[in-house]
Structure 1
Amino acid sequence: MNVADSRDQALSLVTAALNHADLAVKLSSLKQAKDILSSLDSSSAADLFPYVADLQRSPHTLVRKFLLEIIEDIGLRTIEHSSVLVPVLVAFLRDVDSDVVKQSIVTGTHFFCCVLEEMALQFQQHGKVDQWVQELWIWMVGFKEGVFSIALQENCQKPGPIGIKLLALKFLETYVLLFTSDNVYYEKFEATRGSRRTFNISWLSGGHPMLDPVALRSDANRTLCVFLDMLQSASSLPGAVTITIVNCLEAGFSTSSSACL
């Protein structure tokens, strides 16, 4: 099957996933579409991303969760073409289903780190940052603000919201560690590139057009102060939330010179 035929078949399957009445057919169509998208080159796959992103309108939780799987598996491998997909991560932070919100935080965290690395490396290696990365970073800043809001919400007594809050707090921990440690912190294996990449705040020491290391360190330290404020009201928090906050503080203060204490 040539590229055009594969693309047409994938589009037909995505359309079926959005419009077919039977949920089993929707999910089967999505699985097949994902397999085809994975086999296409990045440019050909990206032609279908607007149709894939349209799946966020589905009333079915399982379809929306599968969309997040596609975004993580395909979007991260074709990140230079993912500007259509990334807004879904921000929108799904407000989804009515807690499982969708949780998966959006997990997937968004991976994107945040990947885009940050790309932003830093491009300027370090080429002295400029491509427009597509700048646009993705703007979305990632919006994602960060959305997750921060979730972490600061006080209503988390039910299991769903508690799980969301724990993941939001873990994102805050990641944020703190990314911007306070000069040691290698964040490592992830990128199967599609066959390499291990790490972000180091020292990469920004020579300056960057969009990433100010002083401002980022300051914001990370303010986040640690937020953790401390939350810990002061630990008696009103679920035990799992308190434990997560303590762990975040322990990790953060081991790498930070925060002025909170």
Structure 2
Amino acid sequence: MAEPRWHTAELTVIGRVTTASNVTLVCDADGTTGPDGAPVRVVYKPVRGERPLWDFPDGTLAGREVASYRVSHALGWGVIPETILREGPYGPGMVQRWVQAVDNHTDQGNRLDLVDLVPLGAVPDGFCEVLRAQDEAGNEVSLIHADDPRLQRMAVLDVLLNNADRKGGHALEGTDGQVYGVDHGICLHSEHKLRTVLWGWAGKPISDGLMADVAAFAEELPGVVADELASHLTDAEIEALADRTRELLDDPVMPMPRTSRPIPWPAF
């Protein structure tokens, strides 16, 4: 199969995501055309723009994004948009296909996002309550997420990835009907780091269908998948991924929080 043109096309920066912790640029891939006839749009995070962290080695976040995509792809889930490591206007970095997300807050009315806040005691049907807190105005609210199998698949992926930063804004409902996860720079550490807003299924069994995919992934991991991950992760981090996979197969239940800080902050 031919390599997509956006893998090598020149990138033109058209904007910056100012709320991101690391330099995150929105680019068009010159000379390419997407399904809508417009240039293919991507997110570009140069390695030189990564903010140092105390617990993740400097310069590794872009590679962890690529490795996380590789795990999602090997599972056959398509949760993470296609992600590669390549040169860009500011040097090497992670480049990921842009997700066109549904806008639930329009003039025609508001719908709840996949992860949202509602007044205390107003959790609607089809949603799970994660915690109760106060918002910036001091109002009591509930943090909730959709009880949606597309989102639950993402939650299982986060367990395998050991995702330390699954915020509400990192779960996107695409206009194509799929649910995507973005921002996986602080994943795949060898030590337990799971922090997520998707705790609504904690302690509940994982479906047989998802576990069948995990079992198939466990068979492939020691060979071609590990080879693909080796340029982005250490041997210890790949072995820790294998350990988490085996643990999930031995006990196919969504884990309970294990630390005093199980939710990333801010949550959005």
Q: TM-score range by the shorter chain?
A: under 0.3
Higher-Rg member (1/2): 1
Q: Normalization by structure 1: what TM-score?
A: 0.26
Normalized against structure 2, the TM-score is what? 0.25
> Larger helix proportion, structure 1 or 2?
1
